[in-house]
Copies of this chain bind each other. A is one copy, B any other.
C-alpha cells in the first residue's frame, strides 16, 4: 500500500509519521514552539524520507476550520495559543511539500484511526471521547466524521453539578463547571490537591469522575444513539473507571434506552498519528 504522511499536532508536541498501517510506521517527534520553527522541522521530517509522500493528513489541536469549502479551510482559528491563531496550517504544509493535505481535529483523526484499524471498525455511527488535559469528542454520524458549522467541542456540554456533594467550582476558563471543567485531569488535580495518577483506586475521586463522565455520555447517547463509544485519554488509563462509568450510564438511562458498548481505544499511544495517516488515505 502507498505510504502517506500523518501529523498529530498537539499543544506541546507534533508527532509525525510516514507509513501505511499500525505495523508500518516511521515516527518522529517535534516540540510545538512557533509556527515557523515547528512547520520548518515538520517539513524537514517529511523531506528526509524518500520518496517524499504526496498526501498528508493532519489531526490538529484547535479550534480549527475543517470545512474544505471555506476560505479559511485548514486554519487554526480561535486557539488561546496566540502565535498559532489564524495560522494557515494546511496551506503551509501543502505549499512547503507540494502534497495534498487532509485536515481535521485531533479527536476526529483519532476516531478515524479507530474506525480504520481499532475499536470502531465496521461502524458508521460511533463516538470517540478522550479524557485528559481537556475532554474532547468526535466520531462518525451517517458514515462521515462529525462536522457542522465547524466541529464538535463536546467537552463543554453542561451537566448537573451538585455543589453540596462537590464544592469544586470547575476549571474551564469559559464555562467553569462544564463537563471538561469538572472532569478533565486538571480538575481532578484541582479538586483533590494531587494528580489523579497518585490517587488510589478506592479514592472517592473515581466515583465522582465516573458520575460526571456518565452524565455526559448518557446525554450523548440520547442525542446521537451511537453504536459504540470508544473512551480513552490519560484519565482513562485508570482501568477501574470503565465498569464504574458503564454502571452509572446504565443507571442514568434507567431502562428508557439501551446503552451501547463503552470500550477503550485499541491503537494506544499512536492513535492520533495513525488517525492522521488514515485521514491522508481519504484524499
| A residues whose Cβ falls under 8 Å from a Cβ of B | 63, 125, 137, 141-144, 146-161, 174-175, 215, 218-220, 222-227, 252, 254-258, 260
Excluding A141-B148, A148-B224, A150-B257, 4 further A-B contacts by CB distance (< 8 Å) are A141-B141, A153-B225, A157-B219, A175-B254
* Copy total for this chain: 2
Q: Chain B residues near A157: list those with CB within 8 A.
A: 218-219, 222-223
Check A159 against B160 for contact (C-beta < 8 Å). Answer: yes
Measured CB to CB, the closest approach of chain B to A208, in angstroms, equals: 15
Nearest CB to that of A254 among chain B residues? B174
Q: Among the listed B143, B154, B161, B222, which residue makes an inter-chain contact with A156, where contact means beta carbons less than 8 Å apart?
A: B222
Taking A148-B141, A158-B159, A160-B158 as contacts, is the C-beta distance between A153 and B224 under 8 angstroms?
no
Q: List 18 A-B contacts (CB under 8 A).
A: A141-B142, A141-B146, A141-B148, A142-B143, A142-B146, A146-B224, A148-B227, A152-B224, A153-B257, A154-B222, A156-B257, A158-B159, A158-B219, A159-B160, A160-B161, A174-B256, A175-B254, A220-B223
